[in-house]
Amino acid sequence: MRAFWSAVVFALAIGAGHVGAADGVVHRKHKHMRRPNPVTAEAAVTAAAAAPAGSEQHVLSNPSGMLTLPVGWTVLHEADGGAQPMPPPESAAQPSFNAVNTEAVTGIWLPLGERTPVAMFQEGHTGVLIARGEFGLDTLGSLAVGAFAPVKCHVLPGVTVITMTIPDGLKIGAKPQGAGWEISTASPVQADMSLGRWEHGLSFSPPDQDTALDSVQIDDPVSGRRLLVGMARSGRVAFERNIRGNGYAVKPSLIGLVVAADDDAIELRHLSGRFILDRIGAGTETLFALRNLPDSGASMNAVSLGDASPQSLKDSLRDAWFAVSAASPGEKLNTRIRLAESTARLGLAAQTDQILRTIVQDEPEAAGRSDVRRLQQIASVLLGRVRDEALLDDGGTAPEDQFWRGMMRTLPTDPRNGSKSLPFRLSDAAEKARTAQMIAAGLPALSSYSAPLKAGLFGPAALWIAHFGDETAQKLLGNGPDVPEKALAQAIWAVRQNLPDADQELAALTHSASPRIWPEAKLMKIERDLSKGRIAEDAATRELGSLMPGFRMAGIGAAAQSVLLETQLHAGQMRDALTAFLQTKPHLLLPKEETVLGRIAQGMLDHVPEDMGQKATEAALLNKVLTQNAFVPKATQRVLRYALAERYRALGLPFDERDTLRQIEADGVDDAARKRLARLVELDLATGAVDVAEKDLANFPKAGAASFGVAAPESAPDVQLACLQARLLKAQGKISEALAILQPLTDPLSYALQGEFAEEIKDWTQAEAGRMKQIEAMLGHATPNAALTKPQAALILQAAGDASRAHDAAAQGQLWARYRSAMIATSSAELFRILTGHAAED
C-alpha cells in the first residue's frame, strides 16, 4: 500500500511544476518517444516532503474550518449537514482510503468548455480524466476531504490530464453539464459502445452520434504504460468486457475509450463517428480473435436525423467540416457522409446536394450505400426535384421508408435529366391518392427529426395530403409542427369538402406574409370565385397575370399558368392564351393539353386582327410555336400554319406566305386543299416562278370530267382550275389560248380575267365585253342610283375606258344612263364624264 501511495503522490505532484516531464505524465506525440523511468516510493515521498507551503501538495484551510474551493470549481450535492471540518495537513498527506467520509462531497464540476470530448478510467483508487484542449485549472485550494481529494491537473500540448481519488465502493459517473463536465455519484452510467469489425481492426461506436471525437497518445500517469485514448461525449467500455489481444488490452472506462498498447504498431484513430483500433502496416493479420463480430461500416447504420438544440446542430456541422478538412484520403468518404448528414439535419438542401454529388463523383461506388441513398432522397425532397428515378422505390417497408418513397413521388422529374413526359404518378388521380397514403403512413416518423428538417418536410407533406389525401390522413396533420403550411392545408381541405368557412379561411391566408402561403391561397380563391361567378374573366386574367411572379416564386407557376390559360380561352383571348401556353414550356402534351392547343389554333385562324402591329406580333408568335416546339400535334400544326399564312397575306409578304403554305402536309381533296394549292399557284405567278406554278397546278385536284377548250364546267373547283390555267398561259405569253379557256366560263372571276387579258393585247372589244359581264355580275341586282364602293366605281371606270377605246358609243351611253347619279357623287366624276363622252355637260 505504501508503495502504491508513493506512486499516486508522485503522479499528483506533477501539477506543482517541481517534477520534470520525463518524471511525470508524458504526451506521446511520437510513437518511439522514450517512456518515463520507473519512480520509487522513496523518491516520491522525498518529492512530496520537499513541496513548499502553498503548493498543490500542501492543503490549507480557512479560519472558519470550512472547505476552500479552487477558482472555477463547484462542489455538487453537498450533504445536508453542511461541510465537514477540514482535517489537519498531516492527515491530508496520507489519507486512509478505507475510512474516507464520502458524504462530505459527492461530486465536482470541471470547467472544461462546451462540447469538449473526454475519456476517464480508474486505475486502482485513482481516477484519470483526459480532456481535449488545454485548461489551466487552479487547484491550489484542492479539496482536503471528501470522495475526490486530492485533485490534480496537468496541462500537456493539446490535452489536459486530471487525476483524483476514488475510494473503494464509490460508484461514479461522468456526464456533460453546461460548459464543462460533472463527475459525481449522481451522474448516470454511460451506455456501452458498440463493438464491431472494421477490415482487420476493431471499431467502437459511441451510442450518441457526435462528430466531437478525438484521439491522443499519452503515458499512463499511474503505471507509465502507453495509452491510446479515444475522447468522446458519450459511451464507455464496460468492466465485463474483456477485449485484449497480442500487444494491447482495452481498459474498462467510465467514458470514452482507453487502450493500453505495448505494441507500437497498434494505433487508434477516429473516423466517421467511431473509433478504429488497428495495426499499422499492410499485413493481413487481424487484430482480434473474437469471431462473428458485426461489420460496422456506415452502410449498415441508419442516417441520424435526430433533434438537438440549434446550437448543437450548428456545432455538429462545424465539427463535421473540421473532420472533413483534417481527414486522410481513406477517411474522406465517411467524413463527407457525416457532413451531409449534418447539413441535412439543418435543412440545408443545396449544401447537402452538393456534398452528395461530390461524394458520388469522387467515389462512384458510394452511390450504392444505403445511407448515401437516403441522404439523396432528403436532398431531392428539400430541393423539390428528382435527380435519380431509382430513388423513387429505394428503402425498406417500414413506415418511415414509405414516407420517403411517397415524398419522392410528389416531385417532378428534373428536366436536366432529359425527361420529356409528365410522370404517370403526377397525372393520375388514383396514383396521387396512393402517394398521399404512403406519406401519411410515415408521417409520425417526423417527430424524431431535427426541428429544421421537420419544418422543411412537414409543409410539402401536409399540402399533398390536403390536396389528395382522405379524411384519415388529414387527421394526422393535427399532430404536426405549427408551420405556416399547416393552416393552408386546413383551408385546402375545407375547400375540398366545401365547408362553410372555406372562403373565410382562404381570404385570411391571402394576407399572409409568407411567400409560400399567400400565392397558393390567392390562386385557390380566384379559381373559387370564377367557379361561382364572383369575378369577371377579364378581371381574373389581369389579376392572374400580375401575380404570376409570386406564383412562380411559390413553386406553383405551372398550376397558375393552367388556370390563366383556361380563363383566357373562355374570354376569347386567343393570342394571350397561346402566349400563356408557351410559358408553361411543355415537352409532351397530354390529351387534355392537345385539345386546349387545338382550340387556341382554331381561334387564331378564325380571327385575324385589323391592326398591322398586332398582325406582325401574332405572325412572330405563330412562327415561334411552329419552329421551336416539336411537341405540337400535326393536325394542330396545320391549323397554325394556315393562321400564319393569313397574317403573311395581310402583311403583304408573298414569299413568307408561300413558304408557310408549302410546309402544310397534303390534307386530302377537301376545300382547304384546293384553296391552298390555288393560293400557291397565285403566289408562284405573283413572284415570277412560272415553272413552279405549272408543277403546282398539275397537283390541283379535278372535280369533274371537264377539260380545257370544251363546254364550260359548272362546278366551282373546275372553274377555279380553268382560271388558274388561264393565268398560267398568260404568264407564259399565250394570252390567246388563255382567252379561249375563259370565253365559255360564266364566273365573275373569269369575266375579270377576260377583261384583264384582253386589255393586255389591246383587244378593247373583248375587254369591254368582259368588263360589262363583270359589272352585271357584281351590280346587276343593286338598287339604281345606290352609292358605290371604291372597287365598284373603279370597275365602272375600267369598263367605260374599254368602251371608249373600242369606240362603242352605245356601251358608253348605257353606262352613263345607268350609273350617272352614282358616279357623279364620287371623286372620279369628271373622269367618268370624259370616258362616256359627256365632258361638256353640266
Residue 167 shares a structural domain with residue 103: yes
Residue 49 shares a structural domain with residue 147: yes
The pTM (predicted TM-score) of the whole model is 0.49
* pLDDT cut 70: percent of the chain above it: 77
CB-based contact 92:123 (threshold 8 Å): no
Confidence of residue 776 (pLDDT cuts 50, 70, 90): confident
Residue 292 backbone class (left: φ over 0; alpha: ψ -120 to 50; beta: rest):
left
d(CA 243, CA 193): 13
The count of other CB atoms within 10 Å of the CB of residue 651 is 14
How confident is the model over 315-369, as pLDDT tens digits? 889 988 988 998 888 888 888 988 998 999 999 999 999 999 999 999 988 888 8
E strands, 49-106, are 74-76
Residue 603 shares a structural domain with residue 729: no
Q: Which sign, positive or negative, has the C-alpha torsion 376, 379, 385, 387?
A: negative
C-alpha distances (whole Å) from 497 to each of 266, 323, 426 are: 69, 53, 22
- According to the model, what pLDDT value does residue 23 have? 38
* pLDDT cut 90: percent of the chain above it: 14
Q: In the predicted model, what is the mean pLDDT of residues 185-200?
A: 79
- According to the model, what pLDDT value does residue 25 have? 46
Residue 92 shares a structural domain with residue 118: yes
R_g of the chain, CA atoms, integer Å: 48
Which of the two residues, 744 and 56, has the higher pLDDT score? 744
- According to the model, what pLDDT value does residue 708 have? 38
d(CA 813, CA 818): 8
Residue 180 shares a structural domain with residue 198: no
How many angstroms separate the first and last alpha carbons of the chain? 155
Residue 221 has what DSSP assignment? T
Residue 496 resides in a domain = yes
d(CA 721, CA 382): 67
- Could you give the angle at the alpha carbon of 417 between the alpha carbons of 412 and 419, nearest 5°? 60
Residue 497 shares a structural domain with residue 389: no
Task: Give the rounded distance of the alpha carbon of 793 from its chain centre.
Answer: 69
Which of the two residues, 102 and 596, has the higher pLDDT score? 596
Residue 232: what are its φ and ψ, rounded to 5°?
-145, 180
Confidence of residue 32 (pLDDT cuts 50, 70, 90): very low
How confident is the model over 684-732, as pLDDT tens digits? 888 888 888 888 888 776 644 333 333 334 456 678 788 888 888 888 8
- According to the model, what pLDDT value does residue 353 have? 92
Number of H helices, E strands in the chain: 32, 17
User: Which of 159, 184, 209 marks a domain boundary?
Assistant: 184
How confident is the model over 254-310, as pLDDT tens digits? 999 999 988 888 899 887 678 888 887 655 566 654 444 443 332 233 477 777 788
**What total number of domains does the chain contain?**
4
Residue 488 shares a structural domain with residue 605: yes
How confident is the model over 1-10, as pLDDT tens digits? 344 333 333 3
Cell triple for 94? 496520507
Closest C-alpha to 250, from 265, 234, 268:
268
CB-based contact 639:672 (threshold 8 Å): no
Q: Which residue has the cell 508524458?
A: 26
Residue 380 shares a structural domain with residue 448: no
Q: In the predicted model, what is the mean pLDDT of residues 30-55?
A: 36
Residue 364: what are its φ and ψ, rounded to 5°?
-55, -30
CB-based contact 130:160 (threshold 8 Å): yes
CB-based contact 816:836 (threshold 8 Å): yes
Q: Tell me: pLDDT of 567 over 50.
A: yes
Average the pLDDT over each of 49-63, 159-173, 774-788 and give the range with the smallest value: 49-63
CB-based contact 343:352 (threshold 8 Å): yes
Residue 177 resides in a domain = yes
Residue 668 resides in a domain = no
- According to the model, what pLDDT value does residue 482 have? 78
Domain that holds residue 236: 194-413
User: Which of 380, 413, 446 marks a domain boundary?
Assistant: 413
Residue 93 shares a structural domain with residue 126: yes
Q: Tell me: pLDDT of 669 over 60.
A: no
H or E element in which residue 260 lies: strand 257-261
Residue 222 shares a structural domain with residue 356: yes
d(CA 229, CA 233): 13
Helix, strand, or coil (residue 657): helix
Helix (H), strand (E), coil (C) string for 344-412: HHCCCHHHHHHHHHHHHHHCHHHHHCHHHHHHHHHHHHHHCCECCHHHHHCCCCCHHHHHHHHHHHCCC
Cell triple for 220? 499512463
C-alpha distances (whole Å) from 740 to each of 90, 711, 735, 755 are: 147, 11, 9, 13
How confident is the model over 328-338, as pLDDT tens digits? 888 888 889 88
Top mean pLDDT of 232-236, 712-716, 778-782 is at 232-236
d(CA 299, CA 498): 48
The full length of the chain comes to: 842
- According to the model, what pLDDT value does residue 257 have? 95
Residue 95 has what DSSP assignment? -
Q: Tell me: pLDDT of 119 over 90.
A: yes
Q: Tell me: pLDDT of 767 over 50.
A: yes
d(CA 209, CA 192): 13
CB-based contact 703:715 (threshold 8 Å): yes
d(CA 344, CA 376): 10
Residue 131 shares a structural domain with residue 218: no
d(CA 703, CA 719): 10
- According to the model, what pLDDT value does residue 666 have? 66
Residue 483: what are its φ and ψ, rounded to 5°?
-95, 160
Helix (H), strand (E), coil (C) string for 467-489: HHCCHHHHHHHHHCCCCHHHHHH
- According to the model, what pLDDT value does residue 285 have? 60
Q: Tell me: pLDDT of 145 over 60.
A: no
The count of other CB atoms within 10 Å of the CB of residue 687 is 14
CB-based contact 94:88 (threshold 8 Å): no
Residue 629 resides in a domain = yes
How confident is the model over 434-469, as pLDDT tens digits? 999 999 988 888 887 888 998 889 989 999 999 999
Which of the two residues, 673 and 237, has the higher pLDDT score? 237
Q: Tell me: pLDDT of 418 over 70.
A: no
DSSP for 101-125?
-TTS--EEEE---TT--EEEEEETT
- According to the model, what pLDDT value does residue 256 have? 94
- According to the model, what pLDDT value does residue 274 have? 81
d(CA 691, CA 626): 29
DSSP for 683-695?
HHHHTT-HHHHHH
Residue 68 resides in a domain = yes
CA atoms within 13 A on the CB side of 165: 30
CATH of the domain at 831: 1.25.40
Confidence of residue 12 (pLDDT cuts 50, 70, 90): very low
Residue 842 resides in a domain = no
What's the whole-number average pLDDT of the chain? 77
Q: Tell me: pLDDT of 120 over 90.
A: yes
Residue 702 resides in a domain = no
Helix, strand, or coil (residue 800): helix
Q: In the predicted model, what is the mean pLDDT of residues 598-610?
A: 86
Residue 573 has what DSSP assignment? -
Which residues, other chains included, contact 578 with Cβ-Cβ below 8 Å and sequence gap of 6+? 600, 604, 621, 622, 625
d(CA 525, CA 692): 59
- Could you give the angle at the alpha carbon of 515 between the alpha carbons of 509 and 519, nearest 5°? 55
Q: Which residue has the cell 461525449?
A: 233
- According to the model, what pLDDT value does residue 72 have? 41
CB-based contact 735:761 (threshold 8 Å): yes
d(CA 235, CA 732): 103
How confident is the model over 127-141, as pLDDT tens digits? 999 999 988 876 655
- According to the model, what pLDDT value does residue 339 have? 92
Which residues, other chains included, contact 388 with Cβ-Cβ below 8 Å and sequence gap of 6+? 376, 380
Residue 114 shares a structural domain with residue 151: yes
User: Which of 379, 396, 413 marks a domain boundary?
Assistant: 413
H or E element in which residue 194 lies: strand 194-198
Residue 691 resides in a domain = no
Cell triple for 78? 453537498
Residue type, 285: E
- According to the model, what pLDDT value does residue 301 have? 36
H or E element in which residue 244 lies: strand 244-245
Q: Which sign, positive or negative, has the C-alpha torsion 638, 644, 648, 653?
A: negative
Q: Which sign, positive or negative, has the C-alpha torsion 508, 514, 517, 521?
A: positive
CB-based contact 279:266 (threshold 8 Å): yes
